[in-house]
Amino acid sequence: MITPAHLKKGDTIGIVSPGAQIAKDKIENAIKILKEFGFKVRLGKNVLNKSEYFAGTDKERTTDFQNMLDDDNIKAILCSRGGYGTLRVIENLNFTDFLKNPKWIVGFSDVTVLHAHINNYLGIESLHATMPIDFPKNGINSGINSMISALKGINPIYEFEVNKLNKNGVSQGILTGGNLSVLYSLRGTKFDINPEGKILFLEDIGENLYHIDRMLMNLRIGGIFDKISGLIIGGFNEMRDSTNSFARSAYEVISNVMVDYRFPVIYDFPAGHTKENLAICFGKLLKMEVARKIVTANYL
């Protein structure tokens, strides 16, 4: 895997909107915060555009992202938000210049589309991290701090309390994954993830519990879980139940699908649609240790 150059003060971060539209005040707040950390900021021309649900037309969003990919002065591309829309632009992006001069692609949720392609097929690391839509109006939160630290090349050691559903064990592998619903939408396409020997991270928000089960069963029947070396479960928040209740939490739904697998599993990792949303580096080799009293994960 190729690691893009880490950022230093004075470097330029580009902000684009590859999916849903975003409010102007969110972008202005992000500019202010990034400048406080010593970075320059450049906005995509169409970052605040609106076209139906999206931040501009497919062509406008593609053009913005392509310009950032091709500009050697841009050291990281921060997606303004998730929602939906990145899948509509990914096929039209040309990564030729990006491969010559890799830079950090940053975001989560709908940005999973980009992570899947950049990690699995281009062999370049990327950053699953908070976005301007979630930047607090007052102050800096842990998600922003961890994103900035990761961009600077500071690798954390994650250490957490034990969740009763965890499956103990030690494993290592390249970290991959993202939003479960988005990964599900990539199944059967050329952007589907390559799970062989990897540690898979999953998170989601606002889904029906039966649909969580259905998506996991797709991964199970498709052999994804037969190939991975470990599983990390992030936030699964604001889940909905149906009239015919599942009578389980989202984590219990996942645990039920995982019952026959022997690889270690971490639940309640603070990343994804969570308040903390710590940055994690996809494409980097990670070691996870799940024990009776403590859970740790660190990059190798």
Is the pLDDT reported for residue 242 higher than 80?
A: no
Cα distances (angstroms) measured from residue 152 to each of 5, 30, 230:
9, 18, 27
Among 102, 122, 151, the domain boundary falls at 151
Structurally, the chain folds into a number of domains equal to 2
For the record, the structure tokens of 220 come out as 């199970």
Same domain, 82 and 162: no
- pLDDT digit string, tens, across residues 77-127: 999 999 999 999 999 999 999 999 999 999 999 999 999 999 989 999 999
Indicate if 97 and 31 belong to the same structural domain. yes
Q: Are residues 185 and 280 in the same domain?
A: yes
Q: Are 262 and 169 in contact (CB under 8 A)?
A: yes
**Is residue 230 domain-shared with residue 136, that is, in the same domain?**
no
Range of the domain at 213: 158-299
135/171 same-domain check = no
CB 68 within 8 A of CB 77: yes
Share of the chain above pLDDT 70, in %: 100
In this structure, the answer to whether residues 211 and 146 fall within a common structural domain is no
Percent pLDDT > 90 in the chain is 94
Instruction: Express each pLDDT in 119-138 by its tens digit.
Output: 989 999 999 999 999 999 98
Nearby residues of 272 by Cβ (< 8 Å), 6 or more positions away: 108, 109, 179, 203, 204, 205, 234, 235, 236
Per-residue confidence at 248, pLDDT binned at 50, 70, 90? confident
Residues 143 and 203 in one domain: no
> Which CATH number belongs to the domain containing residue 268 in this structure?
3.50.30.60
Average pLDDT, integer, range 188-208: 96
